[in-house]
Structure 1
Amino acid sequence: MEVHHHCTQSAKLNNQELCHIYNENKNMFEKSGKYVVIKQFRRENYENQQQIASSSQRVPELNGPDDVGRKQTKSKQIKKHSIARNASPPRSEAEIKRRLTKKKCVYWLTVTLYYIFFYIAIGLLFYLCLTMFLLKLPKKSPRVLKQQPSLIYYPHIENYYNNRITWRGGSLKDNKKLMENIKNFLKKFGKHKDHGECREIDSYGYENRMPCVFLKVNRIAGFKFIPIQQAKDIDWREHKLKDIVADLPLHMRSDRLWISCKANSTRLHIEYFPDSRSISVAGLNSDTKTFDEYINQSNFEPFIAIQLNDTRIGEPLNVNCKMFAKNIAIKYSDDHYYGGVSFDMLMIT
């Protein structure tokens, strides 16, 4: 009974396996005289229990109120020492203003230097791009060339994009304005030939409802007109022009740029000056920068005059003029300005 009691206590100390072995072989222990093992086992367990109890008593409570207070006091002391260490002597108001002024001066100096170098860099970049662009420009001809020359008309007193001539036949002011525009155009070519009734003395026909329009060829640098010498090479729509070319002798049509105009009114008659409806190609193909040199030598005029007879008040007219040469493309329906010019005319009163 005493042995069994000791085994029960040893089981409470988590030694169940050893107790199980003892209970199965207790007769052998009692008979063999080895009862001492059990006592030694009890003593070792007791010592272990006492050691565990003593070690648990030595562990402090870290989360107790006393420890929290000690920690707070220590942190306050450390903070006071750090503030005292980093504290600087008090500054005067003058010293504070001086420091602020110094900071402002440094800031504005930095900003000013930044923008100075920034705009210098932009200027250098622009200069470099402009220099490269100018080096690539051709010196004797325009950089961008039009496909082919065109016509321009005078008088031209309204907006360029309107392409319209509007006037009052009974107004001296309107007639004078139109006449001045034509006179300024003709002054560029010095002495010029007579163009029938398209003269200044007749107010270029604007007073008597027979207005005159001057058609000038705009030259393009490097473009050379190739003249048409045979009537069959002219567009089939130009019946009258084909008849005129066919009636001229060969030496008079070998060096001409032909011009023909049509109006939206079939009753309107258009008269040409000169009658051949043409301009000398030699003058247009000249390499001179201006017409002055060629005009003085050959009495050349890079324009013709047309006169519209029997215009009526309030009737809008559209006139479409074309040039004809072997290397001039013509478009009748798609683009009325291609290879020529188109403009409107309206006499109000």
Structure 2
Amino acid sequence: MHDEAYYERRVPIRDLGPWKNFLRFLWDRERHTVFDRTLKQWGQLGLFYSCFYGLLFTLFGLHMRIGFKNIPKDRPYMEHPSPGKSITGSRILFHQPLNRDSHSGHPGLGFVPNIHAYDSLAPVIWINKNNPQSRPQRYIDTINNFFNDYRNSYVYNYKCDSKKKPCFFDINSLGKCSTSPYGYSEPYQPCVYIKFNKRFGWTPIYYNTTSELPEYMPLKLKSVIKSTPQAHIWISCSGVTNFDNQHMGNIDYLPLGGFSVKYFPFTGHPNYLSPTVALLFNNITGVTGLFYLLFFSGLIVLFSICMVGLMATIRKDKPTWTLDQSLIGSSPGLGFRPISDNPRQLALIFYKNNNETQIKTWTRRLDDYLEHYRNRTMLPNRQRCDYKFPKPKEGNVCAVDLDTDFGICSPSNQYGFNNSSPCVFIKLNKIFDWVPEYYQLSELPSDMPKDLVDHIKSYGNSSELNTVWVSCQGEEAEDREFLGPIKYFPEIRGFPGYYYPYKNIDGYLSPLVAVNFKRPTRNKIINVECRAWAKNIIFHQRQKIGMIHFELRIDD
């Protein structure tokens, strides 16, 4: 059957533009819709969700009614699985009891003051009056809050002869640990309070004077149990490691080293308070403080001896290890400037030829790098050198003259960036005492670029051959085509030998070669590689040894 109404609904609605489309969405006169639905559709949708959520609320209400009807008010709905099997002995390390019968029905232990400080995963009791996080008052306030309920004794059964009221626990029985500042003042003898977690209906099976005590129980605790007729759940505390045991000092247990069984079982009384044992650390501060004083004093003495020995072997005028004996070896690497501030694009030089801001950014980077080269007053001991007089005076170094030797690549010409013919400065990294081995005319390698070979041969057998030569070209054939003509400054096209060796004399600056890319193709990323040529410079293209790689792009 052909349904005309169905096909009318399939016809796309005419586009009226963003604003009118929105108004039509709110109210469409032609289709009589509000928010793209008719009143009938909104009614059907509202009826569906009313029924749906009404059913959900009804089911939820039935579940809650059944649940509350079956939950007793005076005891937990679920209890531990073995009420008859109970703890008979316990050791603590402030966080975990070790039980005679260890399973899920046993209660745990807690302690006060339990403060997480310094973002540690475990609680730390660290007393330092000068630190806001570990000042003593913070621990005192925590203990006061803990004792507030214990001091409200009017609802308690003092004689423990009634099941209607919980047994009274007298905090005065804790002796020194019952009153502020609880040992958190000088001389520091801090108190830590161990309490039993509540477990409904749990009754302890305790050790007594006739019980067979476990082998792992401390000897001191065994003697206490054998001499104490009263029934208790006993505890013992020790350091986690031998180091802790040696420096935690003596511990007094107040009022006794355990919890009296008269406080058990817990029957759900709202005013029930767990019994508490106070641990009084008598001399932990003095022993630990003395240990750390001696420990760190010894470290400082050993460190000082090592530093004196190290400084005695280090010379200020030269490295202890040089050339092949050193980590950097005897083959210098290459560097270039300018480089980007973006760590992900250190090798990319990119700007638009009509963007003055970008051009100034690159020229400013070169200005900053070349500041020492330009300002002759910043570095001493510099003198003009050439191939005829290659050796400077004793204590002097050969100067690098940017104004006379670098043509268009000088600061006054904005290094060619404003004319879309940028200059990139190449330098040889400094290695103490390194002297280049120069190529003679008969020794030129076969892989040396032809234009560089012709350039070297033009000098004949003159002293200019004592140069570390530099060549730059595109990395691939396409890059070489896009790169265009190149000019080098100074015209010698390399690093003159009279700058070497580097002797760490004040005022020394590495010689520079400025590479001027005269007409690089626009809107293309051009991969450029530059290489230094000397017989004792190792070259490896894949590992970028003896060469540098950078990318150049100039957009319209």
Q: Structure 2-normalised TM-score? A: 0.40
Map of 1:134 onto structure 2: 311
Report the Cα offset of residue 145 of structure 1. Answer: 4.6
SS at match of 1:287: coil
Map of 2:7 onto structure 1: none
- Give, as a single letter, the amino acid of the residue that structure 2 aligns with 1:146: I
SS at match of 2:447: coil
- Give, as a single letter, the amino acid of the residue that structure 2 aligns with 1:314: N
Q: How does 1:11-160 map to 2 (within 5 A)?
A: 96-97=175-176, 104=189, 106-142=283-319, 143=321, 144-147=326-329, 148-159=331-342
Report the Cα offset of residue 231 of structure 1. Answer: 5.2
SS at match of 1:242: helix
Q: How does 1:248-327 map to 2 (within 5 A)?
A: 248-264=459-475, 265-267=479-481, 268=483, 269-287=485-503, 289-292=505-508, 302-327=511-536
SS at match of 1:157: coil
Map of 1:341 onto structure 2: 548
Identical aligned residues as a percent = 21
* CA separation of 1:95 and 1:212: change in aligned 2, threshold 3 A: closer
Maintained 8 Å contact 2:472/2:531:
yes
Report the Cα offset of residue 321 of structure 1. Answer: 0.9
* CA separation of 1:277 and 1:160: change in aligned 2, threshold 3 A: farther
The structure number with the bigger radius of gyration is 1
* CA separation of 1:158 and 1:347: change in aligned 2, threshold 3 A: farther
Question: What does the per-residue CA deviation read over 1:6-56, in whole Å, with 9 as the maximum and x for residues that have no partner?
Answer: xxxxxxxxxxxxxxxxxxxxxxxxxxxxxxxxxxxxxxxxxxxxxxxxxxx
Maintained 8 Å contact 1:313/1:348:
yes
Question: What does the per-residue CA deviation read over 1:193-220, in whole Å, with 9 as the maximum and x for residues that have no partner?
Answer: 2423223343222222211111122221
Structure 2, unpaired ranges of 5+: 1-171, 190-281, 375-400
Map of 1:181 onto structure 2: 365
SS at match of 1:206: helix
Report the Cα offset of residue 157 of structure 1. Answer: 3.2
Report the Cα offset of residue 167 of structure 1. Answer: 2.3
Report the Cα offset of residue 278 of structure 1. Answer: 1.8
Query: Whole-Å Cα distance in 1 between the matches of residues 517 and 174 of structure 2?
Result: 92
Maintained 8 Å contact 1:231/1:243:
no
- Give, as a single letter, the amino acid of the residue that structure 1 aligns with 2:530: C
* CA separation of 1:140 and 1:159: change in aligned 2, threshold 3 A: farther
Structure 1, unpaired ranges of 5+: 1-92, 296-300
Report the Cα offset of residue 281 of structure 1. Answer: 0.7
Q: Structure 1-normalised TM-score? A: 0.62
* CA separation of 1:244 and 1:103: change in aligned 2, threshold 3 A: closer
SS at match of 1:250: coil
Map of 1:76 onto structure 2: none
Maintained 8 Å contact 1:150/1:340:
yes
Using CA pairs below 8 Å that are at least 6 residues apart, which structure has the higher relative contact order? 1
SS at match of 1:266: helix
Map of 1:245 onto structure 2: 456
Map of 1:328 onto structure 2: 537
Query: Whole-Å Cα distance in 2 between the matches of residues 210 and 344 of structure 1?
Result: 14
* CA separation of 1:230 and 1:263: change in aligned 2, threshold 3 A: same
- Give, as a single letter, the amino acid of the residue that structure 2 aligns with 1:141: K
* CA separation of 1:136 and 1:216: change in aligned 2, threshold 3 A: same
RMSD: 3.0
- Give, as a single letter, the amino acid of the residue that structure 1 aligns with 2:462: H
Map of 1:19 onto structure 2: none
- Give, as a single letter, the amino acid of the residue that structure 2 aligns with 1:97: K
User: How many residue pairs align between the two structures?
Assistant: 248
Query: Whole-Å Cα distance in 1 between the matches of residues 472 and 188 of structure 2?
Result: 79
* CA separation of 1:288 and 1:106: change in aligned 2, threshold 3 A: closer
Report the Cα offset of residue 323 of structure 1. Answer: 1.0
Query: Whole-Å Cα distance in 2 between the matches of residues 237 and 149 of structure 1?
Result: 19
